Structure 1
Amino acid sequence: MKRNLKFCPNCGAERVPNERFCGDCGYDTQSVEPSQSPENRPIQTFSASSGMELWRRLGLLAGILVGLALFCYVTPAVVSLTAVDWEQEQAKELNSASGYVSEEDKRLSQLPLANYIQEKTDGKVTVVNNGEWLTLLTDVQLASHGQYERSAYGNRVSEEDKDPFWEAIGPVAVFFEPDEIPYTEWGLTQEDLDRSYISIDQDGQTAYFLLRYHDYSASVSAMSKPYTVAPDWLYHPYRKAGIAVLLLGLAAYIFLPRRKKEPEEIAYSTGSMLAGDLVALILLLPFYGLPFLINGGTVQAVSGFWIISAVMWFLALLCVLLFYYNAWYASYRITLTAESLSLITFRGVREYKWKDITEANFVTLRNPGWFRKLFLAMAFLSVMGGRTSTQPAGSALLAASAAYSGLEIQGTGGKPLYIWFTNQNGGVIINNFDKVLEAIEASGVRINRNMRSIEGFSMFM
C-alpha cells in the first residue's frame, strides 16, 4: 500500500508529498509499518542529524585536548656530541672573567697536551671503530665547528647556538635521539648531564668528542629549562602532529553537517550557538594549555606543579561541559501539536501533554548569590593586590547583572520545564518563540506574565 508520510521515519526530515524515497537520506518510506510512522507518532520524529551537533563538538574537543598535549610534549632525553679541541681547552685554563687564575689552573695549562687530555678525561676515552662511525663523526665535527651547510647534521644544533647575537665560543653540541647512537657502549649512563669521551682516527690524527646525556624529564620543570636544548623538532617531536590534530578537530567542527533548520522551526538561533562555542573555546584554551606552559611540557604538567594543573584542568572540565550543553541547545527544537508540546534534542524526545500542564509563568534567571560573591571577592583581591586591570571588575559586574528570561511550565509530573528564550542582555534567541505562547493559550493553559526571579544556572534547569 502506498503511503504519503509527512516525515521520513529514518532521519525525521520533512518529505515532498508522493515521493517514495526521502530527499535527505534516501530511505524507502514504503517499508515502514503505519504504527511506526512519524505521522502516527509525531513526537518521535527528530532528525538523526541532531546527534551530529554533539559529534561536531566532540571532534573539536578531541582535537584541542590531544593536539595541545602533543604540541607541548617534550622528548624525555637526548644525547649530544661535541667536538673537543684540546689545545683550545688548555688555553682557556688561564682565561678568567674575574682575572683570578688558581694554581691548579696554572698547573693544567703547563702540562704536555697528552697529559692534559689524560687528566681531563680520567683516562676513560672509548676508541670508536673507524669504518662504522667515521662518516657520522666527521659530519658531527663539521656541525660542531659551525659549518652547518657542509654537514648532514647542521639541523641538529640548538637554535641558541646558531643565534648570531649569542655566537658560541668554540665547538657546539650536536643532538641525537638516544636510540640513534650506541651511547652506553661509549661509556655514557642515563643520568642527567653524565659525560664520557670518545676518539676516532681521522686522516692520521685523533679527533675527540664529548658525549652528554640530557634527561629532560629531570631538568625541565616549572618555569625552568636548560639554556641550551635540542632543536625544536627534537625537543618537541610531536609538534607538527599536534598542529595536524588541532586542524582536524577544527575541520570536524566546521565541515561535519549541522542539523538542518527550517524557517518556521522553533529553535535556538545559529548565531547564539556559535557565540556559546566561541566563549567555551576561549576559556578552554588557557585553562587546559597553561599547565603545559607553566610546567614546561605535557608530562611535566603532571609530575611538576600538579596542584596548579589539577585546579586549572577542573576549570577546563567546566568548559567541556559548556560544549556539551551548547551541543544540546544546538540540537534543541520545539514541536507543537493539538495534544502536546515536545522538546527534541540529541538525547531524545520529551513530550508534555497539554492536559497535564497546569500553568505557565514568565521567570528571570540570575546567577546564584554565591557565584556573584565569588567574582566580587576575586575583583576585590585583584584591587588589593595592586592590579590595574579592569578585567576582574568587569567579570564581577557581568556575573552580577546577567539575567535570562524564560518560561516555566508547571505540570502534574512534578519538576517544572524551563525554556530560556533570551540571552543575558535580553535578546530573544529562540526563533518563532511566539508560537509556543500562542499554542499554550490556545490549549487553555493560563500564562502568568508577571516576572518572577529565580537563581541558578540555565544548563542545569
Structure 2
Amino acid sequence: MIEIFRRASALFLLCLGGYLMLWPGGKLLIVSPYEGTVIKGPKITVTDPDWFELAKSMTNPEDTPQLEERSYGSKHKQYIFKPDEPPFNEISHYPEQAVFVSIGNGQKWLRIYASHAGDIYSLPEQFKHPYFYHGPGLIMIGLAIYFFIPQRQYETDEIHYPRGATVIGPDIMGLILTPMFFLLPFPIVWEMDAGGSVLSISKGWIWLTGAMWLMAAIWSVLLLTALKYSDLCYRITDQGLHVIKMGKDELIKWDEIEYFRNYRTRLSGKLSSLLLIFGTTMQAVATGLMLRHQEEWGIRIHPRNGKEIKIMGNALDRFDDIVQGLKDHGVKRKNNK
C-alpha cells in the first residue's frame, strides 16, 4: 500500500500543481464610470453606500492607489474586479454584455460587464494566473512524498531487481510524461477558447483531449511497471521458492512444481505497439521503436495445481541462483518447442 500511495499521491499532486500554474483565472468584471445620457442595456439599481464610494473614487482615481492597481485600458479608464468582491457580490449574476448600475437614483452610473481572464488583453498582473504560486508548492510536496517515503529494505537472502533501472527510471519517466500529456489540452483550449471546456463535444475539444489523455494513460503504464518491481523479490529455502510482492509472501514448494522452461520475448511489446500506433510525438514513436527491438528473457515456472509464474531475468541480481535452486531440488527443465 505504501508503494501505491507513493505513486498515486505524487502523480495527483504533480497534475494538480501543473493545473493551478496553467489556469488563467475565472470570470472577471470590467468596471468603468458611465457619464452618457442614453442607457442601452440592462439596468440595476443599488443602495449600498459602498457603491457610491466606489463610483466617487473612480472620478479621482489618483487619490486611490489601490484603484490605480486595478486600472485597465488606455482610452477610457476601466478597472478590474472579481465578482465575489464587495460590493459586486451583491449582484448574483453578471452577463457578458454590459450592465448599467444606477447609484443614488441615477446620480452616478457604472458600466459593468464580465469577461474571462484569458480574453482580457494587458490584464493587471495581480489577476493573472491567481493560483500560479500554489502550483510549485504542490509539485514539490508530490516529489517529496515520492523520494522521502522510505523504500523497502531487502534482506541478504532476497533476490531482487535493481531499483535504478526497473523502479526509479520508469517512475521518473512516468511522473514527467503522464502529467505533461494530461495537462497539455488545457492551455491549448484556454488559448483558443477562454473559459472553454476540454471535454466540449460541440466545439470538438474532446477529440484533442482524448488523444492527449490516451498518451497520458500509455505513459502511466511505466508507473504500474515500477510499482510491480518496487518490492518484488524471491527467496530460496529448503521448503521451496518464496515469491514476495506487495507485502505478501507466497511459498511454492519444490514438490509442487512440475517443471520450468526458458522464455524470450520482446520487452514491453504491448506498450511499444501502443506508442507506435497512437504516439503523437516523435519522442513517443522513438520510444516505441526502442522497446520493440529489446528482448525480455527469463523462466516460466509451472506448479502442478497453480498459476504459471514468470520470472524476468533481465537485470535480476542472482537470477542464476533461482535456476540452480530449481535444479538442485529436482525440478525438471522443459525444452521450448
Q: Distance in 2 between matches of 1:80 and 1:228?
A: 12
How do 1:17-96 residues align onto structure 2 when only pairs under 5 Å count? 51-73=1-23, 75-83=25-33
1:192 to 85, 89, 96: 96
**Residues 229 and 235, structure 1, Cα contact 8 Å, conserved in 2:** no
- Alignment pair present for 1:275 and 2:169: yes
Q: Distance in 2 between matches of 1:431 and 1:54?
A: 24
- Alignment pair present for 1:342 and 2:235: no
- SS across alignment from 2:264: strand
Taking a change above 3 Å as real, the CA distance of residues 348 and 393 of structure 1, as seen in their structure-2 partners, is closer
- Alignment pair present for 1:171 and 2:76: yes
Q: Distance in 2 between matches of 1:73 and 1:259?
A: 38
Corresponding letter in the other structure for 1:269: P
1:406 to 298, 306, 309: 298
Report the TM-score when normalising by structure 1: 0.60
Q: Distance in 2 between matches of 1:283 and 1:240?
A: 22
For 1:45-83, what per-residue CA distance to the aligned partner results, in whole angstroms no more than 9, with x for missing partners? xxxxxx422221122022124333444445442222124
Q: Paired residue for 2:231?
A: 331
- SS across alignment from 1:342: strand
- Alignment pair present for 1:288 and 2:182: yes
What's the offset of the Cα at 1:210? 2.4
Which of the two has higher C-alpha Rg? 1
For 1:416-446, what per-residue CA distance to the aligned partner results, in whole angstroms no more than 9, with x for missing partners? 2111131xxxxx2x23333222322221223
Taking a change above 3 Å as real, the CA distance of residues 127 and 402 of structure 1, as seen in their structure-2 partners, is same
Taking a change above 3 Å as real, the CA distance of residues 257 and 233 of structure 1, as seen in their structure-2 partners, is farther
What's the offset of the Cα at 1:235? 5.4
Report the TM-score when normalising by structure 2: 0.79
What's the offset of the Cα at 1:401? 0.4
Corresponding letter in the other structure for 1:443: H
Identity percentage of aligned residues: 22
Q: Distance in 1 between matches of 2:267 and 2:189?
A: 34
Q: Distance in 2 between matches of 1:208 and 1:240?
A: 37
Q: Distance in 1 between matches of 2:67 and 2:296?
A: 62
Q: Distance in 1 between matches of 2:90 and 2:269?
A: 67
**Residues 267 and 291, structure 2, Cα contact 8 Å, conserved in 1:** yes
Q: Distance in 2 between matches of 1:298 and 1:251?
A: 33
Corresponding letter in the other structure for 1:171: H
Taking a change above 3 Å as real, the CA distance of residues 376 and 247 of structure 1, as seen in their structure-2 partners, is closer
Q: Paired residue for 1:211?
A: 112
Corresponding letter in the other structure for 2:66: A
- Alignment pair present for 1:248 and 2:141: yes
Q: Distance in 2 between matches of 1:392 and 1:327?
A: 21
Q: Distance in 1 between matches of 2:110 and 2:289?
A: 64
- SS across alignment from 1:300: coil
**Residues 367 and 399, structure 1, Cα contact 8 Å, conserved in 2:** yes
Taking a change above 3 Å as real, the CA distance of residues 139 and 269 of structure 1, as seen in their structure-2 partners, is farther
Unaligned runs of 5+ in 1: 1-50, 87-116, 162-167, 383-388, 423-427, 454-461
**Residues 302 and 309, structure 2, Cα contact 8 Å, conserved in 1:** yes
Corresponding letter in the other structure for 1:280: G
Q: Distance in 2 between matches of 1:123 and 1:372?
A: 59
- SS across alignment from 1:361: strand
**Residues 287 and 313, structure 1, Cα contact 8 Å, conserved in 2:** yes
**Residues 41 and 98, structure 2, Cα contact 8 Å, conserved in 1:** no
For 1:307-341, what per-residue CA distance to the aligned partner results, in whole angstroms no more than 9, with x for missing partners? 33234334433444432342231111112111111
Q: Distance in 1 between matches of 2:121 and 2:219?
A: 37
Taking a change above 3 Å as real, the CA distance of residues 197 and 363 of structure 1, as seen in their structure-2 partners, is same
Q: Distance in 1 between matches of 2:142 and 2:276?
A: 36
- Alignment pair present for 1:356 and 2:268: no
Q: Distance in 1 between matches of 2:175 and 2:76?
A: 46
Q: Distance in 2 between matches of 1:150 and 1:262?
A: 70
What's the offset of the Cα at 1:232? 6.0
**Residues 18 and 183, structure 2, Cα contact 8 Å, conserved in 1:** yes
What's the offset of the Cα at 1:373? 6.2
Q: Distance in 1 between matches of 2:332 and 2:261?
A: 8
For 1:111-151, what per-residue CA distance to the aligned partner results, in whole angstroms no more than 9, with x for missing partners? xxxxxx213x34987787695345444555566xxx6x952
Between 1:360-369 and 1:370-379, the stretch displaced more is: 370-379
Unaligned runs of 5+ in 2: none
For 1:280-324, what per-residue CA distance to the aligned partner results, in whole angstroms no more than 9, with x for missing partners? 123202221112222228972234612332343344334444323
Superposition CA RMSD, Å: 3.9
Q: Distance in 1 between matches of 2:57 and 2:136?
A: 32
**Residues 233 and 244, structure 2, Cα contact 8 Å, conserved in 1:** yes
What's the offset of the Cα at 1:394? 2.5
What's the offset of the Cα at 1:199? 5.9
Between 1:434-443 and 1:369-378, the stretch displaced more is: 369-378
Taking a change above 3 Å as real, the CA distance of residues 315 and 393 of structure 1, as seen in their structure-2 partners, is closer
Q: Distance in 2 between matches of 1:52 and 1:392?
A: 30
Corresponding letter in the other structure for 2:254: W
Q: Distance in 2 between matches of 1:155 and 1:302?
A: 35
Q: Distance in 1 between matches of 2:53 and 2:235?
A: 75
Q: Paired residue for 2:321?
A: 435
Taking a change above 3 Å as real, the CA distance of residues 371 and 152 of structure 1, as seen in their structure-2 partners, is closer
